[in-house]
Chains A and B, each alone.
Chain A
Amino acid sequence: QVLLQESGPGLVKPSETLSLTCNVSGDSISTTNYYWGWIRQTPGMGLEWIATLHHTGNTFYNPSLKSRVTTSVDTSKNLFSLTLTSLTAADTALYFCARHTGLRYFDSWGQGTLVTVSS
């Protein structure tokens, strides 16, 4: 059974950069059909897909966030990461990582990490 665990700073200042990591256990991040995604949740916007990446480097972004998002994968550590720049209060959210099998649906999720953007 795959387990995903997000980690991140919790509190970030406006205009700064957020870096989150998702550690994957119980399965290889390099499995061909597995993609890995980031989704965030706010009371106002609900669930919002941010990006999905493959261990080969192939990455897909939400057009609304693309200019501020970067992703990476570390196959040696079985983890993947998200960077979001130029933060504002609107980026305050619960951030989830998830397995996005075959670029279809999100079939396994981490517990989420709360990120607050505030000075």
Chain B
Amino acid sequence: EIVLTQSPATLSLSPGETATLSCRASRTVNSYLAWYQQKPGQAPRLLIYDASTRATGIPARFSGSGSGTDFTLTISSLEPEDFAVYYCQQRSNWPPFTFGQGTKLEIK
């Protein structure tokens, strides 16, 4: 089973700043990694898939990069609605499909 480790666990930033979130896989997942955003009381929402492709309707301030075992989600010019929990997920080696434990992006 591929384990995804996200860091940091919590990131405190102010609106307008840039957030950099990390996801590291226990072995290569090629580029088969996605990022999700989850707000309180809501389901996760797909943001980025295949490491760097934005899902439909996702603003350009969200970008993904990486391949192999190290991936980054970058959110530039943070908006108030961006403060949430972010998860990564791999589809390279399954079953099972696995998720990271999440990074909470909170307002500083």
Stretch at the interface among B16-24, B38-46, B59-67: B38-46
Q: How many residues of A contact B (CB 8 A)?
A: 21
Contact of A112 with B87 in the complex, beta carbons under 8 Å:
no
A105 in complex: contacting residue of B43, B89, B100, CB < 8 Å = B89
Give A96 to B99 CA distance when docked, in angstroms: 14
Chain B residues with CB under 8 A of A103? 91
**Cβ of A11 < 8 Å from any Cβ of B?**
no
**Cβ of B34 < 8 Å from any Cβ of A?**
yes
Within B68-82, the residues touching A (CB, 8 Å) are none
Cβ distance A44 to chain B, nearest Cβ, rounded Å: 10
Contact of A46 with B96 in the complex, beta carbons under 8 Å:
no
Contact with A along B82-93 (1 / 0, CB 8 A): 000001010100
- Residues in B lying within 8 Å of A, measured CB to CB: 32, 34, 36, 42-46, 49, 55, 87, 89, 91, 94-102
Given A46-B99, A47-B99, A48-B99, 8 other A-B residues pairs in contact with their CB atoms under 8 A? A47-B102, A60-B95, A96-B43, A103-B91, A104-B49, A107-B49, A109-B45, A111-B43
